[in-house]
Amino acid sequence: MSRLPEYSDIIRARMHLKEVVKVTPLEHSKSFSSMAGANVYMKLENLQSTGSFKVRGAYHMIASAGKERLKNGVVCASAGNHAQGVAYAARSLGVKSTVFMPLFTPPLKVIATRNYGAEVMLEGYSFDDAMAAALEYREKSGALIVHAFDDPFIIAGQGTMGLELFDQMDTIEDVVVPIGGGGLIAGIGIALKEINPDIRIIGVEAEGAQGMINSLRSGKPEKLTSMETIADGIAVKTPGVLTLEAVQKYVDDIVVVSDEEIARAAYMLLQRAKILAEPAGVAAMASVMHRKYNHGGRNVVPVISGGNINMGLLEQILEKGLMEEGLRARIAVLIPDVAGELKGIISILEGLRANINDIYHERSITTVPVGYVQVIITFNLQESGQLDSICSALTDRMLRFEILK
């Protein structure tokens, strides 16, 4: 039966990974410290090889397996980041890899995994579905399963980040970690609680995927019946047996963030810190920004765990963020369907220094009277007060309009 790794196992893992993984930056942020009311230091694991922390555990496990266990290759299931970590590690070690991913995995993660040399199979609608397919493949092929989180070598590999954090700043008081299956927080918790038991380990789950919280309540791994979150990297229906044990022993609290809070954190990281991170990767920062637990004045490290974001989702996050900040607006104006009417609206926007992003015409819906057209205009603003001036100018021209949210 597998056991939780010990501190000494994590030390050995660090020796394994010494020439493989990057020592990712730990950066203080004045902007996020001000927003959070704490001293915020970002652990930028989005800058790790393959774009996430997952390569730590994957490489350590495969490198520790031995030639006999690797003769039929390795297989894993993943929503994306573990897949890339396994593919990268397998190729580095000269091992064949097969990866099962859910059907709606972001295309860039699928492409990246294939580029690292893995054979990718798309199966099911969640990590658990892909995992079932991977286990079936293992039975047929004899390949070694590389679990995404519930394995002592995986946990030990992820735990090297805890050692790295303390090396970078020995005055850490709180480390905030996203939770999917729990491998990362298990490893970090084991490492840091051994070094300094007073360091608080705070976990973060997405509101729509609270597998670990449910499992803590019942005392055993519980399977979620459904999940709904933009943070696909932490959308895991069932946490692991080992990871649940580690959370029970080493984690001080778990908090929850909504998709709206995650999207806001991703936008603010890009806008204020010029850091691109995926939704799962910003969950910890979202909890710190929105003060989900009492961290006032403390030295807080949210782990930015990955940067492999779906470009379509990034576009939505940017659009929403710009509109929330009052730097982009969208209006629907009803005008007679005759030449020159649109030009008048455009002249108002240009005169008030609004930069038009796009224009859409709608004539066919029933709310648009015959002889009229509804024009939907999206435009960028230099400051939020411009929108009031634009609305006043449209009102002065007796135009019927609506600001769209």
Catalytic choice (29, 49, 54, 97): 54
| Strand (E) or helix (H) holding 38 | none
pLDDT digit string, tens, across residues 256-309: 999 999 999 999 999 999 999 999 999 999 999 999 999 989 999 999 999 999
pLDDT in tens, 201-254: 999 999 999 999 999 999 999 999 989 999 988 998 899 999 999 999 999 999
Residue ranges covered by each domain of the chain: 7-48+151-320, 54-145, 327-404
Please report, rounded to a whole number, the percentage of residues in the chain having pLDDT higher than 70. 100
Average pLDDT on 148-164 reads: 97
Contact 158, 57 (CB under 8 A): yes
> So what's the pLDDT on residue 359?
94
DSSP 52: B
**Rounded mean pLDDT of 128-157?**
94
Q: Which residue has the tokens 């609305």?
A: 391
User: Tell me, what's the pLDDT at 405?
Assistant: 82
For 7-48+151-320, the fitting CATH number among 3.40.50.1110, 3.40.50.150, 3.40.50.1100, 3.30.200.20 is 3.40.50.1100
The Cα 313–Cα 107 span in angstroms is: 12
Q: Measured between alpha carbons, how far is 342 from 363 in angstroms, rounded to an integer?
A: 14
Compute the average pLDDT of residues 47-74: 96
Residue 68: the pLDDT is 93
What does the DSSP assignment read for 348-398? Answer: HHHHTT-EEEEEEEE-SSTTS-TTEEEEEEEEE-SSTHHHHHHHHHHHHTT
Report pLDDT digits (tens) over 14-27: 998 998 999 999 99
174-211 residue pLDDT tens: 999 999 999 999 999 999 999 999 999 999 999 999 99
- Distances, alpha carbon 303 to alpha carbons 24, 96, 287, 396, in Å: 11, 31, 11, 51
Complete DSSP assignment for 271-309? HHH-----HHHHHHHHHHHTT-S--TTSEEEEEE-B---
Q: Can you tell me the mean pLDDT for 121-138?
A: 89
| Cβ pair 206, 182 in contact under 8 A | no
Which of the 8 DSSP states describes residue 104?
A: T
| Fold entry, domain 327-404 | Alpha-Beta Plaits (3.30.70)
Q: How much is the pLDDT for 341?
A: 86
User: Domain 54-145's class?
Assistant: alpha beta
Query: 169: which residues sit within 8 A by CB, 6+ positions away?
Result: 26, 41, 299, 301
Across the chain, what does the average pLDDT equal? Answer: 94
The reply to whether domains 7-48+151-320 and 54-145 share a CATH topology is: yes
Collapsing DSSP to helix, strand or coil, 98 comes out as: strand
**Residue 111 half-sphere exposure, CB side, CA atoms within 13 Å?**
6
Inform me whether the pLDDT recorded for 131 exceeds 70: yes
Q: How many CB atoms lie within 10 A of CB 218?
A: 9
Catalytic: 54? yes
Alpha helix stretches (DSSP H) within 67-151 = 67-70, 81-92, 107-115, 127-141
Is residue 2 pLDDT above 80, yes or no?
no
32 vs 233: CA distance, rounded Å: 23
Pairing type for strands 174-178 and 299-304 reads parallel
Mean pLDDT of 362-384: 89
Residue 1 in this model has a pLDDT that exceeds 50: no
Kindly state the greatest CA–CA separation across the chain.
Answer: 80
User: Where in 190-345 does DSSP place strands (E)?
Assistant: 200-206, 253-257, 299-304, 328-336
The answer on pLDDT for 148 being more than 50 is yes
Tens digit of each residue's pLDDT (9 = 90 or more) over 72-108:
999 999 878 999 999 999 999 999 999 999 898 878 8
How far apart CA 84 and CA 145 sit, in angstroms, is 15
Catalytic: 305?
A: yes
Q: For tokens 């970078």, what's the residue?
A: 168
Entry pTM:
0.90
